[in-house]
Structure 1
């Protein structure tokens, strides 16, 4: 047994640079004396993890994760303490005699068991596809021009409703607890149920070519949702998905660039024409994981998403994220309504042409927006200019900004100075938004004569702000509820965050709808049935909102992405913080006690810092 004294451990913690080591895993942003990062230990979208080089600790103010550099490596890599200690020593070039002969499995036992079960499941799925049970699935793949060679290359499999994966794993002496932790099925005293049934299976791997989970695609009309992914567990994180990453990295490192696609069919189709440096986001948002992946491998990024409006918007959003991180990015301008998979089959020459001539995101943005502008309408021109300026306002790139202003001047015949003035105003507004989130109520020292007037104005502004916020977030709640009406695809995420919903009527309706799914009473995609079932719960105020929800434009959008659910809950989370701030500001207006006012201001500052770290 290896024994290392506390004195030696503290020496390693003291010598190791916590900033250097954490930055090898996460992208750090310097903020004063400390550094900020998106927290990897919970579903974080904005930097909430603080790293202090002076105190040599990290702290997340959202999920409360904290510790020293060894704790970080231990939690991030899911390893034991000694393995984490050895990793820190190796990364910091610290010789520790006690560890010279020490070796240990890289991952913890639970993670290793999930990898092992996934590997076994992958083999069973592949075998099932080429059995009698997989004949219809093979016909479907053939109809999508996927041949046997491609099936084997991408290890595509099939989960029949008669595969009995769970039972086969039990027969191999795997425990029911481990099988459930891997989210491969459900096991009770009376029955077993496979998680994937009657679906074509695509294994999803990590950078080290290990299967972290699966995506099952339905190929029959009565098997919703279209795609079903493994539920999150210790190795399968939805923010870490990059289909084909292990294969793509080898080629991308040589070519110094990687192509980002939407779905795995796109990846498979492009490989057919010898384009193999591709990954697919699979409908998830670009995350800190992807950004760090591109940075640490020194890769330029080519965005190649669908040519429809959602694809265009996604290209623009992701390009902006990458430019902010100073990653070179170009867009493959797909001017058709086809996705890359369809282009391979229908317009291969056009496909090669656009791949060979990618364009800069700012040119892409300007072209897409200007095509919809009436050049004779000053209001449309003004709106167009503001949209383009909003794209560059937070980019620290003087050359890009100047080049964009020149393009706008040439295109619109608006003077360069006018456009610059607009940009200056947007920068001012951005600074205000970042510091106060558009809810600033300044408290000035005033004479007794002006005190009452100022207090009345401030109370009026607070009420208007509160009303605006409530109105804005109704759509976020309805988006969440509508996604649940359509299917249970995001039920776990919704159940975990349902308490963030603001209005009691729609919150209780959501909770009851979750219960109806769990009891197998409601199966999804039957809005009238859902509302009839919910009537039995006598939800005060909800029945009156049914017509509004049905008529909501969200109902026409059959496919709601996971990123939209994340955005909706982020909005609701922000609402609660804004509401707390506004309440404190109301107290500040009414308070005349100097000590109390200082305490209230401290409370406001604390809440604002939490918002910034999201």
Structure 2
């Protein structure tokens, strides 16, 4: 794990999620773990760690990906390793013990179903299916990339899975099979099947496209199951994290065939909402990609309305938006079929600025035939302009003035009167909760000193060797163990260990770029260790006092009192040494 981390620059990974700016020795960016408006997260390429100076979030490259993606630590390691061409996917299967047995069984059933559908398509000789694939321009490359399959009749899958020993109730619960009066039948039949995967690439559902032209129900999707909720996932989302695709904007469209159309044309960074709306969860997934977005929904009234509603939700979350430049009534799949791949890609290259679309949308809602309708258009557009950058505000106010005939100075005045805070939706606060840490000042300082100096660490080990706080004491032992292998402690490597949240918080709090000469460290350590000794004695005295109050035997009470007196003398002696040192 440390070898993988050493091959990766933390700033390269974090900059895939959050834009970073170099300031001094470190890079800075907006912290994604709280509602940050002023860059408060520092990324140190020297120590290979990050830290937010507002909410306290911090760690190494693996903990960043873990917390940002909301995945397990092992999954984060696998994901980071993949960016440098190292495949650790087997590690996931070795660490599935954290997944409940019921979920593992459900995922296994869905995986078997997907492979069964895929095999059926690759071996089918049905001319209707083959003609459909040719007509829709679905070649072998697309079939393999998107793991497309087929179900040709009502009982193929159910018979296959039941023969594998799966229980009918489990198949019904996963919406693969439905129960009839006398038997079971497949939910999907006579359909091309597109697996829907979660963010880790595990199949959790299907979108089924009708093959027969007389079938009025074009699409059937998996309903809500224990492992699939439509509003929590986006089709093809798990494939867009490839670093080679990061340079391309993220295209969002409505359906699976649209995704295939863009992919076929050469733009692979594309996802589908599988509908005309986005939930807050889906908006957060898109925001997490940290990429400009191009909306590519159908050009009918429902598609245009969806473009506005989805665009507004993304714009309110600070996503940089544009809308693909399709002036026809064709959806992306039809557009690519009729006009070709180059033309489809051109709709992306010439995409409209989000505010340009907003002005067009407002004009279509209210028209521009009367004074009142023009005022409605102005009011609608200004609500979006108020959260835009000043340069964009100036440009689009001039455009608004041109189409309405209103004076642009007056429009600027109207804009300045709008309360930005009331217009902009509050962003969901995503804060990584930080544990409360109760350390003595001396414990905190000792840890700060020993993590930066092997000599100081061994001096602490030989002269004291313990801290009162159990979490801090364990961390000190880990630091000493690290020095037994190397002359320097790498904080990023320590974070790879199974640290508790408290230990991680302590470690990030004590991390410093400063190095103190040992001559100075020794005196500081001696002071801190005396304070620790006195605090330890105080704890012992307090425990004995409690024991004395509860003791009924007078002789034992006397013994306890004598021990307390001895400890008081010892404490006073240690305290006097501390005073002498201060006087010196």
Q: What TM-score, normalized to structure 1?
A: 0.51
1:251 Cα deviation (Å)? 5.3
Stretches of structure 2 that go unaligned for 5 or more consecutive residues are 1-29, 38-54, 57-66, 76-93, 427-584
Residue 110 of structure 1 corresponds to which residue in structure 2? 102
Identify the residue that residue 304 of structure 2 maps to in structure 1. 312
Alpha carbons 1:129, 1:138 under 8 Å: kept: no
- Pair 1:229–1:133, CA change in 2 (3 A): farther
- Residues 445-483 of structure 1: CA deviation (Å, up to 9, x unaligned): xxxxxxxxxxxxxxxxxxxxxxxxxxxxxxxxxxxxxxx
Correspondence 1:176 to 2:168: yes
1:160 is matched with 152
Partner of 1:510: none
- Among 339, 344, 348, the alignment partner of 2:331 is 339
Q: How does 1:123-142 map to 2 (within 5 A)?
A: 123-132=115-124, 134-142=126-134
**1:381 has 2:374 as partner:** yes
CA contact (8 A) 1:253 1:297 kept: no
Once the two structures are overlaid, the 10-residue window that deviates more, 417-426 or 280-289, is 417-426
**1:358 alignment partner, one of 332, 351, 354:** 351
Whether 2:257 is the aligned partner of 1:265: answer yes
Q: Tell me if the contact between 1:128 and 1:134 (Cα under 8 Å) persists in the aligned partners.
A: no
Could you report, residue by residue, the CA deviation over 1:513-561 in whole angstroms, capped at 9, with x for unpaired residues? xxxxxxxxxxxxxxxxxxxxxxxxxxxxxxxxxxxxxxxxxxxxxxxxx
1:524 matched to which residue of 2? none
The equivalent residue for 2:539 is none
Matched, 1:212 2:212: no
Determine the C-alpha separation between the residues in 1 that align with 2:249 and 2:97.
33
Tell me if the contact between 1:385 and 1:408 (Cα under 8 Å) persists in the aligned partners.
Answer: yes
Q: 2:221: which partner in 1? A: 229
**Could you list the per-position Cα deviations for residues 484-516 of structure 1 after superposition, in whole angstroms to 9, with x for gaps in the alignment?**
xxxxxxxxxxxxxxxxxxxxxxxxxxxxxxxxx
C-alpha distance 127-370 of structure 1, shift in aligned 2 (>3 A): same
Q: Which residue of 1 aligns with 2:404?
A: 412
Rate the CA distance shift 1:429–1:415 in 2: closer, same or farther, 3 A.
farther
CA change 1:244–1:429 in 2 (3 A) is: closer
1:294 to 282, 286, 295: 286
Corresponding residue for residue 135 of structure 2 = 143
Deviations 1:370-413 (CA, angstroms, capped at 9, x unpaired)? 478765632332222122123345x3645444443333224333
Equivalent-residue separation in structure 2 for 1:25 and 1:192 (angstroms): 51
CA distance in 1, matches of 2:244, 2:275: 22
Q: Assess if the C-alpha contact under 8 Å between 1:331 and 1:364 holds in 2.
A: yes
Tell me the alpha carbon deviations over residues 191-222 of structure 1, each in whole angstroms, 9 at most, x when there is no partner. 11211122211111123221111011123355
For residues 172 and 199 of structure 1, the distance between their equivalents in structure 2, rounded to whole angstroms, comes to: 23
> What is the match of residue 280 of structure 1?
272
Distance 1:297 1:429, change over 3 A: closer
Deviation, 1:184, is 1.1
The number of residues matched between the two structures is 354
Q: 1:136: how far off?
A: 2.0
Contact 1:257 1:300 in 2 (8 A): yes
Q: 1:280–1:431: structure 2 CA closer, same or farther, 3 Å change rule?
A: closer
State the shift of 1:155 in Å. 1.7
Alpha-carbon deviation of 1:280? 1.1
CA shift in 2, pair 1:335/1:248, >3 Å:
same
Distance 1:223 1:109, change over 3 A: farther
Is the contact made by 2:276 and 2:303 (CA closer than 8 Å) also made in structure 1?
A: no
**Aligned equivalents of 2:228, 2:256: Cα separation in 1:** 17
Q: Is 1:196 the counterpart of 2:193 in the alignment?
A: no
3-state SS of paired residue (1:283):
coil
- DSSP-derived class of the 1:249 partner: coil
* Deviations 1:248-297, CA, capped at 9 Å, x for gaps: 22157532531111111111122222211111111152233333333333
Q: How far apart, CA to CA, are the structure 2 residues paired with 1:25 and 1:286?
A: 24
Q: Distance in 1 between matches of 2:145 and 2:100?
A: 30
- Equivalent in the alignment of 2:238: 246
Distance 1:328 1:147 in 2: 34
Contact 2:240–2:270 (Cα < 8 Å) also in 1 = yes
1:78-123 C-alpha deviation (Å, 9 max, x unpaired):
x9xx999xxxxxxxxxxxxxxxxx9652422222222111111111
Mapped partners of 1:106, 1:397: distance in 2: 46
How far apart are the structure 2 equivalents of 1:113 and 1:157? 21
Alpha-carbon deviations, 1:113-171, whole Å to 9, x = none? Answer: 22111111111112222445744223222222222332232222111224431121111
Inter-CA distance 130–83: structure 2 relative to 1 (3 Å threshold): closer
- Between the aligned partners of 2:424 and 2:146, the Cα distance in structure 1 is 49
Higher-Rg structure is 2
Shift of 1:359: 2.3
Structure 1's unaligned 5+ residue stretches are 1-23, 32-52, 55-72, 85-101, 435-614
Matches within 5 A, 1:476-487: none
Q: In 2, distance between residues paired with 1:336 and 1:254? A: 29
* Contact 1:304 1:331 survives alignment (8 Å): yes
1:380–1:152 Cα change, 3 Å:
same
Distance 1:374 1:196, change over 3 A: closer
Structure 2: distance between partners of 1:431 and 1:271:
37
CA distance in 2 between counterparts of 1:190 and 1:376 reads 64
In the other structure, the counterpart of 2:581 is none
Q: Residue 482 of structure 2 aligns with which residue?
A: none
